[in-house]
Structure 1
Amino acid sequence: MNLLGKIFTVLILLASVALMIIAMFVYSTHRNWQDAYNQLNTKFQAATAANANAEAQYLAQISQLKSEQSAAVQDVAKLETERNLIVSQNQAIQKEVDELRRDQAQSVALVKATEENINRLTQEVTGLRDSIRVAQQERDEQFHTTLKATSELHSVGGQLQQLEERSSQIVAQLADVTAKATEGGVDLQGEFVPRVRGKVSKLRRSTEGLLIEITVGADDGIRPGQNIEIFRGDRYLGRAEIMRADPDRAVGRILREFQQGQIQENDDVATKLRVG
């Protein structure tokens, strides 16, 4: 055998080995294509049924979504209508708020002007009250002065008339007494204080002390500077000095150094025989 034959022999051996390996591989991967087809067909039918079911669900969902979309569109339209209504109401409310703010600003300005006017009027009223008070005080003082002057004028007029009448009587009495005393030899140069009794009619206090008013006066012989004794029954109460004597009454000041009891209205008073 030559070299070429050996080469071919080796090649044939290698080819045989390769075919044997391929045959073994093909045998190991051999399948039952009928079973595979049946399995694939079953899967295909299941997939087709699942696809039909899914398509039906899809169509149902599409229909439901369209219904929901239509309802949503209606809801959106309704909400849009409500929104427009709310916007209109909001605009109306805003307009009212603006008007209220303008009214409030006008009210604030009016209140401020009113407060200023009230303050001005209050000041004017205070000034007028002060003026009225001063005028009333002046009027009252003038009225009291006029009333006092009128009362004093009437009193003085009455006293003057009484004094004139009493003077005429006294002059006549004095002439008669003088004549009788001269005939009887009586010395007329000395002073004589008649015995007079009366009552305490009023008491009042002043800066000069406790003053009393008595029911006897100049017509009864009471003179300023004269002392009178005060008593109640058998109890001696004190002494008073006559400060003013009117025709039918007199005013005296209690001499504290002679006071021996509480002096009251209706206590008795009597003159001394001479000026103390």
Structure 2
Amino acid sequence: MTLFGKILIGLILALSLVFASLSAAVYSAQFNYRKELETQKDQYATLETRLKDREEELLKQIGDIEAELAKVTDERDLQTQTATQLAQQNQLLQGELATTNTALNVQTADTEIAQAEAEDRRVEVLAGRQRTADLSEKFVASEGEIAALTDEAFSQSVTITQMAQTNGRLLDEVASLRAQLREIGIAPNSAFTGTDPAPDVSGKITAVDERGSAGTKVAISVGSDDGLREGDELEVVRMTGGGKYIGKIRLVEVGYDSAIGNLISKNPTATVKEGDDVKTRL
């Protein structure tokens, strides 16, 4: 055998070994591929099952989330409505607070005024107490004077009683004298024709009557208790406005404390008026 043949045989042997190795590798790769494919199929089935389970779980979670979202939405709407109501209530409360503050300010002002008035009353009460104390002291001091005045009043009462008794006795005597005058034919109220002048008497004209047929008549505030008699003449004057002579009257009726007279002379420039003065002597 030649060298070329040996080389060729060696080459063929080497190629055979190479092909054998390649065949073994291909077989091994094909076997591993199938095994890996089965493994991958098993893993795929497992993953698909897990995916379905996960999908169902996710769908359930989505349903729960949607339910929770609906619940949260309802709660949000309720809270929004509550917030709106609270805002309205807040506005009402703010209005009431403003009204309350205004009323409080008014009450505070009224309280301050009341306190000032109370202080004024307290001062007045203290002043009243002081005045009461002063009056009490004066009352105590005047008790002696009151006792003295009481004694004096008692003495005057006794004197008045005695004077009343004397006056009654004098009236009885006057009545007796008038009876005696009637017995001798003399009227008790007749004018005295003697020479005794009228006493010094002053009075006022209380009424004026100009409608009588005998002329002007006047009523005066003095009478027989002042010593006047029928026929006495009195001057009429007006003391106000610098003084003015009015005229003269003659008494025609004389009562105890009043009299009536006729106007017998008159100042042409004057008119008799109620309130004018009458005098027996100017």
TM-score when scaled to structure 2? 0.42
TM-score when scaled to structure 1? 0.43
